[in-house]
A and B are shown apart, each in its own frame.
Chain A
Amino acid sequence: GAVVSQHPSWVICKSGTSVKIECRSLDFQATTMFWYRQFPKQSLMLMATSNEGSKATYEQGVEKDKFLINHASLTLSTLTVTSAHPEDSSFYICSASTDSQSLHTEAFFGQGTRLTVV
């Protein structure tokens, strides 16, 4: 199957700093990328959807100025957590979908990034 690579796998940062997480589709063009957040023992919660070359669509309750998403190319999307606080500590996961002519589209997920804000 297609590969989605997320970097870094884990990061520790100080409160008040910004952290950038990269999501790359290695062997396919990802027209759409999704960013999720997952707290311990909870399900994935969709944060935003981004299409290449356009602004991301954020889910209700997700601050767009705090979680900056850039989808500048068909193979790269970035999530920047600005002015991070301890409550932003979580597991962040990206996924990418291909532009398919069929009715169903499999999503491919990155391995996730564990963010710890101290």
Chain B
Amino acid sequence: LAKTTQPISMDSYEGQEVNITCSHNNIATNDYITWYQQFPSQGPRFIIQGYKTKVTNEVASLFIPADRKSSTLSLPRVSLSDTAVYYCLVGVNYGQNFVFGPGTRLSVLP
């Protein structure tokens, strides 16, 4: 499984755009990139998934460069409720387990 590296923590203010970058230098050809959000005492929640270029949904955007060795989760206009830990996972194929790294603890300040 491709190992991922993310910043341990980030601070932001309400209304700002937040970009969290994940490095995955050993990503395999068939691997997808998936981001999860976790609030305290809750299970992780799926945010977005992509393979290449850009993916956008109602919650976030995911930017993946051509070499796919990194990806950036973009949260537009964050609010206090976006304070959570964000995990980047790579290699979510059927039958594989989901190995979580330390994640990025995002704190949104008023």
Residues of A within 8 A of B (CB): 1, 4, 6, 32, 34, 36, 42-46, 49, 91, 93-95, 97, 99-100, 103-112, 114
Q: Contacts A43-B102, A46-B99 hold; do A109 and B94 have CB atoms under 8 A apart?
A: no
In this complex, the interface size class of chain B, counting residues with CB under 8 Å from chain A, is: 20 to 34
Pairwise interchain contact B93-A103, C-beta atoms closer than 8 A: yes
| Chain B residues whose C-beta falls within 8 Å of the C-beta of A110 in the assembled complex | 43
Q: B85's closest neighbor in chain A, by CB?
A: A43
* Interface of B: prevailing SS: loop
Q: How far is the CB of A37 from chain B (nearest CB, A)?
A: 11
Would you list 17 pairs from A and B whose C-beta atoms are within 8 A, ordered by A residue?
A: A6-B43, A36-B100, A43-B87, A43-B100, A43-B101, A45-B100, A46-B97, A46-B100, A91-B41, A93-B43, A94-B43, A99-B94, A103-B93, A105-B92, A105-B94, A107-B46, A112-B42
- Check A105 against B93 for contact (C-beta < 8 Å): yes
Query: Which residues from chain A contact B51 at a C-beta distance below 8 Å?
Result: 104
- Which one, B49, B101, B102, contacts A106 given CB within 8 A? B49
Across the interface, B46 reaches (CB within 8 A) one of A1, A46, A91, A114, namely A1
Closest CB of chain B to A43's CB: distance in Å? 5
**Shortest CB–CB separation between residue B7 and chain A, in angstroms?**
14
Chain B residue with minimal CB distance to A49? B97
Tell me which residues across on chain A come within 8 A of B98, comparing CB atoms: 34, 46, 95, 107
**A103 with B87, Cβ < 8 A, contacts A6-B43, A97-B94, A112-B42 known:** no
Q: With a CB–CB cut-off of 8 A, which chain A residues contact B45? A: 109
From B45, B51, B94, name the one whose CB has the most chain A CB atoms within 10 angstroms. Answer: B94
Bound-complex Cα distance A79 to B94 (A):
22
Question: In the complex, what distance in Å separates the CA atom of A99 from the CA atom of B102?
Answer: 27
